[in-house]
Amino acid sequence: MVHSLPGGIDMAWETAIAAFAAVVGAGFVSGREIWVFFAMHGAAGGILACGAAVLLGLGAWRTAQTAASVPRVAPLWRTTIALFSFITLAAVLAALASLGHARLGLSPVLGGALAAVLAAVIQQHGTATLRRWQGLMLALVVLAVCLTVAFGLLRLPTVQAASPVAPIPAAIAVVGYAAYNIALASDGVRRSAVGHGRSGQWGALIGGLAAGLLLTLETVVLARSGIIVAGADLPLREMALRLHGTLAIGVELAIALASVSAAASFLQASADLFGGSWPTAGLAWLGSTFGVQAIVDRAYPAMAVVALFWLMALVWPSALADRSGPNRQGR
Protein backbone atom coordinates (compact mmCIF):
# COMPACT_ATOMS: atom_id res chain seq x y z
CA MET A 1 0.00 0.00 0.00
CA VAL A 2 2.81 2.40 0.83
CA HIS A 3 4.51 1.69 -2.49
CA SER A 4 1.37 2.15 -4.57
CA LEU A 5 0.77 5.75 -3.54
CA PRO A 6 3.54 7.42 -5.55
CA GLY A 7 2.52 5.47 -8.65
CA GLY A 8 -1.10 6.51 -8.24
CA ILE A 9 -0.11 10.13 -7.78
CA ASP A 10 2.13 9.97 -10.83
CA MET A 11 -0.70 8.52 -12.95
CA ALA A 12 -3.12 11.19 -11.75
CA TRP A 13 -0.54 13.93 -12.34
CA GLU A 14 0.11 12.81 -15.93
CA THR A 15 -3.59 12.86 -16.78
CA ALA A 16 -4.11 16.20 -14.99
CA ILE A 17 -1.31 17.76 -17.05
CA ALA A 18 -2.84 16.39 -20.27
CA ALA A 19 -6.24 17.91 -19.44
CA PHE A 20 -4.79 21.20 -18.18
CA ALA A 21 -2.34 21.71 -21.06
CA ALA A 22 -5.00 21.11 -23.71
CA VAL A 23 -7.13 23.99 -22.36
CA VAL A 24 -4.43 26.43 -21.24
CA GLY A 25 -2.88 26.90 -24.66
CA ALA A 26 -2.16 29.77 -27.00
CA GLY A 27 -5.70 31.13 -27.35
CA PHE A 28 -6.12 31.00 -23.60
CA VAL A 29 -2.87 32.86 -22.85
CA SER A 30 -3.47 35.45 -25.55
CA GLY A 31 -6.88 36.11 -23.99
CA ARG A 32 -8.74 36.50 -27.29
CA GLU A 33 -10.95 33.42 -26.98
CA ILE A 34 -11.62 34.28 -23.32
CA TRP A 35 -12.83 37.68 -24.46
CA VAL A 36 -15.06 36.29 -27.22
CA PHE A 37 -16.79 33.68 -25.07
CA PHE A 38 -16.93 35.29 -21.63
CA ALA A 39 -15.24 38.60 -20.84
CA MET A 40 -17.14 40.65 -23.42
CA HIS A 41 -20.25 40.09 -21.25
CA GLY A 42 -18.76 42.03 -18.35
CA ALA A 43 -19.47 40.89 -14.81
CA ALA A 44 -21.79 38.16 -16.12
CA GLY A 45 -18.79 36.68 -17.94
CA GLY A 46 -17.29 35.50 -14.67
CA ILE A 47 -20.46 33.52 -13.91
CA LEU A 48 -20.43 32.00 -17.41
CA ALA A 49 -16.76 31.09 -17.00
CA CYS A 50 -17.53 29.32 -13.71
CA GLY A 51 -20.11 27.19 -15.50
CA ALA A 52 -17.58 26.33 -18.22
CA ALA A 53 -15.00 25.49 -15.54
CA VAL A 54 -17.28 22.86 -14.00
CA LEU A 55 -18.03 21.36 -17.41
CA LEU A 56 -14.32 21.25 -18.29
CA GLY A 57 -13.62 19.21 -15.18
CA LEU A 58 -16.57 16.86 -15.67
CA GLY A 59 -15.85 16.48 -19.38
CA ALA A 60 -12.20 15.64 -18.79
CA TRP A 61 -13.25 13.14 -16.09
CA ARG A 62 -15.76 11.51 -18.44
CA THR A 63 -13.16 11.34 -21.22
CA ALA A 64 -10.76 9.54 -18.87
CA GLN A 65 -13.57 7.26 -17.68
CA THR A 66 -14.28 6.12 -21.24
CA ALA A 67 -10.59 5.76 -22.15
CA ALA A 68 -10.65 1.95 -22.09
CA SER A 69 -14.04 1.47 -23.73
CA VAL A 70 -13.39 3.88 -26.61
CA PRO A 71 -9.75 3.36 -27.65
CA ARG A 72 -10.42 5.09 -30.96
CA VAL A 73 -13.22 7.41 -31.95
CA ALA A 74 -15.39 6.93 -35.00
CA PRO A 75 -14.17 8.32 -38.36
CA LEU A 76 -16.60 11.25 -38.30
CA TRP A 77 -15.36 12.34 -34.88
CA ARG A 78 -11.71 11.86 -35.86
CA THR A 79 -12.20 14.09 -38.89
CA THR A 80 -14.07 16.70 -36.83
CA ILE A 81 -11.32 16.84 -34.20
CA ALA A 82 -8.68 17.06 -36.93
CA LEU A 83 -10.57 19.97 -38.49
CA PHE A 84 -10.85 21.68 -35.09
CA SER A 85 -7.10 21.21 -34.68
CA PHE A 86 -6.42 22.73 -38.10
CA ILE A 87 -8.54 25.82 -37.38
CA THR A 88 -6.88 26.21 -34.01
CA LEU A 89 -3.46 25.81 -35.65
CA ALA A 90 -4.27 28.69 -38.00
CA ALA A 91 -5.30 30.83 -35.01
CA VAL A 92 -2.10 29.94 -33.16
CA LEU A 93 0.06 30.87 -36.16
CA ALA A 94 -1.87 34.14 -36.43
CA ALA A 95 -1.19 34.85 -32.73
CA LEU A 96 2.54 34.24 -33.23
CA ALA A 97 2.48 36.49 -36.30
CA SER A 98 0.76 39.23 -34.31
CA LEU A 99 3.29 38.88 -31.50
CA GLY A 100 6.20 38.96 -33.97
CA HIS A 101 4.81 42.11 -35.54
CA ALA A 102 4.27 43.84 -32.20
CA ARG A 103 7.63 42.91 -30.65
CA LEU A 104 10.00 42.54 -33.62
CA GLY A 105 8.31 44.54 -36.36
CA LEU A 106 7.96 41.51 -38.64
CA SER A 107 5.30 41.60 -41.28
CA PRO A 108 2.38 39.37 -40.19
CA VAL A 109 2.68 37.33 -43.39
CA LEU A 110 6.38 36.65 -42.81
CA GLY A 111 5.86 36.06 -39.09
CA GLY A 112 3.12 33.51 -39.76
CA ALA A 113 5.27 31.73 -42.35
CA LEU A 114 8.22 31.47 -39.94
CA ALA A 115 5.88 30.17 -37.23
CA ALA A 116 4.49 27.54 -39.61
CA VAL A 117 7.98 26.34 -40.54
CA LEU A 118 8.99 26.18 -36.87
CA ALA A 119 5.85 24.21 -35.99
CA ALA A 120 6.50 21.69 -38.78
CA VAL A 121 10.15 21.21 -37.77
CA ILE A 122 9.24 20.72 -34.11
CA GLN A 123 6.38 18.38 -34.95
CA GLN A 124 8.70 16.18 -37.00
CA HIS A 125 11.87 16.31 -34.90
CA GLY A 126 11.32 17.93 -31.52
CA THR A 127 8.16 16.64 -29.86
CA ALA A 128 10.07 14.54 -27.31
CA THR A 129 12.09 17.57 -26.20
CA LEU A 130 8.92 19.65 -26.09
CA ARG A 131 7.23 17.11 -23.79
CA ARG A 132 10.20 17.16 -21.42
CA TRP A 133 9.87 20.92 -21.03
CA GLN A 134 6.07 20.99 -20.89
CA GLY A 135 5.91 21.29 -17.10
CA LEU A 136 8.21 24.35 -17.08
CA MET A 137 6.26 25.95 -19.91
CA LEU A 138 2.96 25.46 -18.11
CA ALA A 139 4.44 26.90 -14.91
CA LEU A 140 5.47 30.04 -16.82
CA VAL A 141 2.04 30.32 -18.40
CA VAL A 142 0.28 30.02 -15.04
CA LEU A 143 2.67 32.54 -13.45
CA ALA A 144 2.21 35.07 -16.28
CA VAL A 145 -1.57 34.77 -16.20
CA CYS A 146 -1.81 34.94 -12.39
CA LEU A 147 0.50 37.97 -12.10
CA THR A 148 -1.37 39.83 -14.83
CA VAL A 149 -4.70 39.00 -13.20
CA ALA A 150 -3.50 40.10 -9.75
CA PHE A 151 -1.91 43.37 -10.87
CA GLY A 152 -4.76 44.06 -13.26
CA LEU A 153 -7.35 43.79 -10.50
CA LEU A 154 -5.27 45.98 -8.19
CA ARG A 155 -4.02 48.69 -10.53
CA LEU A 156 -6.19 49.04 -13.62
CA PRO A 157 -9.39 51.07 -13.48
CA THR A 158 -12.70 49.43 -14.22
CA VAL A 159 -13.68 50.35 -17.76
CA GLN A 160 -16.22 47.63 -18.35
CA ALA A 161 -18.03 47.55 -21.68
CA ALA A 162 -20.41 44.64 -21.36
CA SER A 163 -22.55 43.35 -24.20
CA PRO A 164 -26.02 41.97 -23.39
CA VAL A 165 -26.24 38.32 -22.37
CA ALA A 166 -29.04 36.39 -24.08
CA PRO A 167 -29.88 32.89 -22.77
CA ILE A 168 -29.05 30.91 -25.94
CA PRO A 169 -25.71 32.62 -26.73
CA ALA A 170 -24.76 32.34 -23.06
CA ALA A 171 -25.53 28.61 -23.03
CA ILE A 172 -23.54 28.09 -26.22
CA ALA A 173 -20.63 30.05 -24.72
CA VAL A 174 -20.55 27.92 -21.58
CA VAL A 175 -21.29 24.49 -23.00
CA GLY A 176 -19.72 25.03 -26.40
CA TYR A 177 -16.43 26.37 -25.04
CA ALA A 178 -16.12 23.37 -22.74
CA ALA A 179 -17.15 20.99 -25.52
CA TYR A 180 -14.57 21.97 -28.13
CA ASN A 181 -11.78 22.12 -25.56
CA ILE A 182 -12.71 18.64 -24.32
CA ALA A 183 -12.78 17.42 -27.92
CA LEU A 184 -9.30 18.83 -28.56
CA ALA A 185 -8.05 17.34 -25.28
CA SER A 186 -9.67 13.95 -25.76
CA ASP A 187 -6.78 12.14 -27.44
CA GLY A 188 -4.17 13.24 -24.90
CA VAL A 189 -6.42 12.60 -21.91
CA ARG A 190 -7.39 9.12 -23.14
CA ARG A 191 -3.80 8.13 -23.85
CA SER A 192 -2.62 9.24 -20.42
CA ALA A 193 -5.63 7.77 -18.58
CA VAL A 194 -5.93 4.33 -20.19
CA GLY A 195 -5.08 1.58 -17.72
CA HIS A 196 -4.83 3.99 -14.79
CA GLY A 197 -8.35 3.49 -13.47
CA ARG A 198 -9.59 5.95 -10.88
CA SER A 199 -6.22 7.68 -10.58
CA GLY A 200 -6.45 8.75 -14.21
CA GLN A 201 -10.05 9.86 -13.79
CA TRP A 202 -9.30 11.96 -10.70
CA GLY A 203 -6.30 13.49 -12.46
CA ALA A 204 -8.41 14.47 -15.46
CA LEU A 205 -11.05 16.02 -13.19
CA ILE A 206 -8.45 18.02 -11.28
CA GLY A 207 -6.69 19.16 -14.44
CA GLY A 208 -9.94 20.30 -16.05
CA LEU A 209 -11.09 22.14 -12.93
CA ALA A 210 -7.69 23.82 -12.52
CA ALA A 211 -7.84 25.08 -16.10
CA GLY A 212 -11.39 26.27 -15.41
CA LEU A 213 -10.27 28.20 -12.32
CA LEU A 214 -7.57 29.97 -14.32
CA LEU A 215 -10.14 30.63 -17.04
CA THR A 216 -12.47 32.29 -14.51
CA LEU A 217 -9.71 34.50 -13.07
CA GLU A 218 -8.64 35.65 -16.52
CA THR A 219 -12.24 36.33 -17.50
CA VAL A 220 -12.80 38.54 -14.45
CA VAL A 221 -9.79 40.77 -15.11
CA LEU A 222 -10.40 41.04 -18.86
CA ALA A 223 -14.06 41.90 -18.24
CA ARG A 224 -13.06 44.75 -15.89
CA SER A 225 -10.76 46.16 -18.57
CA GLY A 226 -13.15 45.76 -21.47
CA ILE A 227 -12.55 49.05 -23.28
CA ILE A 228 -8.78 48.56 -23.04
CA VAL A 229 -8.65 45.07 -24.53
CA ALA A 230 -11.78 44.72 -26.69
CA GLY A 231 -10.02 45.35 -30.00
CA ALA A 232 -6.69 43.70 -29.24
CA ASP A 233 -5.39 40.56 -30.94
CA LEU A 234 -3.69 39.58 -27.68
CA PRO A 235 -5.79 41.10 -24.86
CA LEU A 236 -3.70 39.71 -22.00
CA ARG A 237 -0.54 41.23 -23.48
CA GLU A 238 -2.36 44.54 -23.92
CA MET A 239 -3.19 44.53 -20.21
CA ALA A 240 0.36 43.58 -19.23
CA LEU A 241 1.77 46.45 -21.32
CA ARG A 242 -0.33 48.92 -19.35
CA LEU A 243 0.87 47.45 -16.06
CA HIS A 244 4.65 47.03 -16.45
CA GLY A 245 7.14 46.41 -19.24
CA THR A 246 8.74 43.44 -17.50
CA LEU A 247 5.36 41.80 -16.96
CA ALA A 248 4.57 42.33 -20.65
CA ILE A 249 7.78 40.52 -21.63
CA GLY A 250 6.80 37.61 -19.37
CA VAL A 251 3.36 37.41 -20.94
CA GLU A 252 4.86 37.58 -24.43
CA LEU A 253 7.24 34.74 -23.57
CA ALA A 254 4.33 32.69 -22.19
CA ILE A 255 2.28 33.34 -25.33
CA ALA A 256 5.23 32.41 -27.56
CA LEU A 257 6.02 29.16 -25.73
CA ALA A 258 2.39 28.10 -25.42
CA SER A 259 1.81 28.94 -29.09
CA VAL A 260 4.81 27.00 -30.37
CA SER A 261 3.88 23.98 -28.26
CA ALA A 262 0.23 24.17 -29.30
CA ALA A 263 1.15 24.64 -32.98
CA ALA A 264 3.24 21.45 -33.02
CA SER A 265 0.49 19.52 -31.21
CA PHE A 266 -2.35 20.75 -33.45
CA LEU A 267 -0.25 20.19 -36.55
CA GLN A 268 0.30 16.58 -35.52
CA ALA A 269 -3.43 16.14 -34.90
CA SER A 270 -4.45 17.59 -38.29
CA ALA A 271 -1.56 16.50 -40.54
CA ASP A 272 -3.52 13.65 -42.17
CA LEU A 273 -6.20 16.05 -43.43
CA PHE A 274 -4.01 17.47 -46.17
CA GLY A 275 -1.40 14.81 -46.80
CA GLY A 276 1.30 15.51 -44.25
CA SER A 277 2.87 18.07 -41.94
CA TRP A 278 4.28 20.49 -44.51
CA PRO A 279 1.16 20.85 -46.70
CA THR A 280 -0.98 21.22 -43.57
CA ALA A 281 1.38 23.83 -42.10
CA GLY A 282 1.33 25.74 -45.40
CA LEU A 283 -2.45 25.79 -45.59
CA ALA A 284 -2.71 26.79 -41.93
CA TRP A 285 -0.33 29.66 -42.65
CA LEU A 286 -2.62 30.84 -45.46
CA GLY A 287 -5.51 30.65 -43.02
CA SER A 288 -3.54 32.61 -40.43
CA THR A 289 -3.36 35.61 -42.78
CA PHE A 290 -7.00 36.34 -41.92
CA GLY A 291 -5.72 37.40 -38.47
CA VAL A 292 -6.36 36.34 -34.90
CA GLN A 293 -9.58 38.26 -34.42
CA ALA A 294 -11.24 37.03 -37.62
CA ILE A 295 -10.43 33.38 -36.86
CA VAL A 296 -11.23 33.38 -33.15
CA ASP A 297 -14.26 35.67 -33.29
CA ARG A 298 -15.92 33.79 -36.16
CA ALA A 299 -14.61 30.23 -36.35
CA TYR A 300 -14.41 29.43 -32.64
CA PRO A 301 -18.13 30.00 -31.92
CA ALA A 302 -18.96 27.78 -34.90
CA MET A 303 -16.64 25.11 -33.49
CA ALA A 304 -18.42 25.45 -30.16
CA VAL A 305 -21.81 24.71 -31.74
CA VAL A 306 -20.51 21.65 -33.61
CA ALA A 307 -18.74 20.39 -30.48
CA LEU A 308 -22.03 20.25 -28.58
CA PHE A 309 -22.63 16.94 -30.36
CA TRP A 310 -19.28 15.69 -29.07
CA LEU A 311 -20.29 16.55 -25.51
CA MET A 312 -23.57 14.70 -25.88
CA ALA A 313 -21.78 11.69 -27.36
CA LEU A 314 -19.58 11.48 -24.26
CA VAL A 315 -22.68 10.42 -22.33
CA TRP A 316 -23.01 7.40 -24.65
CA PRO A 317 -19.46 6.16 -25.39
CA SER A 318 -20.75 3.75 -28.04
CA ALA A 319 -21.56 6.81 -30.17
CA LEU A 320 -17.84 7.62 -30.24
CA ALA A 321 -16.59 4.09 -30.83
CA ASP A 322 -14.86 3.12 -34.02
CA ARG A 323 -16.78 0.04 -35.17
CA SER A 324 -14.25 -1.02 -37.79
CA GLY A 325 -11.38 -3.41 -37.33
CA PRO A 326 -10.02 -4.68 -34.01
CA ASN A 327 -11.62 -1.89 -32.00
CA ARG A 328 -15.18 -2.82 -32.93
CA GLN A 329 -17.47 -1.83 -30.06
CA GLY A 330 -20.92 -3.19 -29.19
CA ARG A 331 -23.68 -1.25 -27.53
List per-block mean pLDDT (blocks of 10 residues) for the chain, which spans 331 residues.
48 82 80 91 90 93 86 84 94 94 94 95 82 80 91 83 77 90 87 83 92 92 83 90 91 90 90 93 96 93 90 82 55 30
Task: Flag whether 311 is in a domain.
Answer: yes
Task: Flag whether 157 is in a domain.
Answer: yes
pLDDT at 1: 36
Buried b / exposed e across 288-322, counting CB within 10 Å, b at 16+?
A: bbebbbebbeebbbebbeebbebbebbeebebbbb
Task: Flag whether 223 is in a domain.
Answer: yes
pLDDT at 4: 41
Task: Flag whether 324 is in a domain.
Answer: no
**Among 251, 285, 244, 191, which Cα is nearest to 26's?**
251
**Among 233, 261, 290, which Cα is nearest to 109's?**
290
Question: Cα separation of 81 and 47, whole Å?
Answer: 28
CB 261, CB 138: distance < 8 Å: no
Taking the C-alpha atoms of 18, 54, 225 and 160 in order, what is their torsion angle to the nearest 10 degrees?
A: 160
Task: Flag whether 174 is in a domain.
Answer: yes
**Tally of helices (H runs) and strands (E runs) in the chain:** 17, 0
Number of domains comprising the chain: 1
- For the domain that residue 306 is a member of, what is the CATH number? 1.20.1740.10
**Among 36, 77, 19, which Cα is nearest to 214's?**
19
Q: The whole model's pTM is what?
A: 0.88
pLDDT at 161: 67
Task: Flag whether 330 is in a domain.
Answer: no
For 56, the domain range is 12-319
Task: Flag whether 169 is in a domain.
Answer: yes
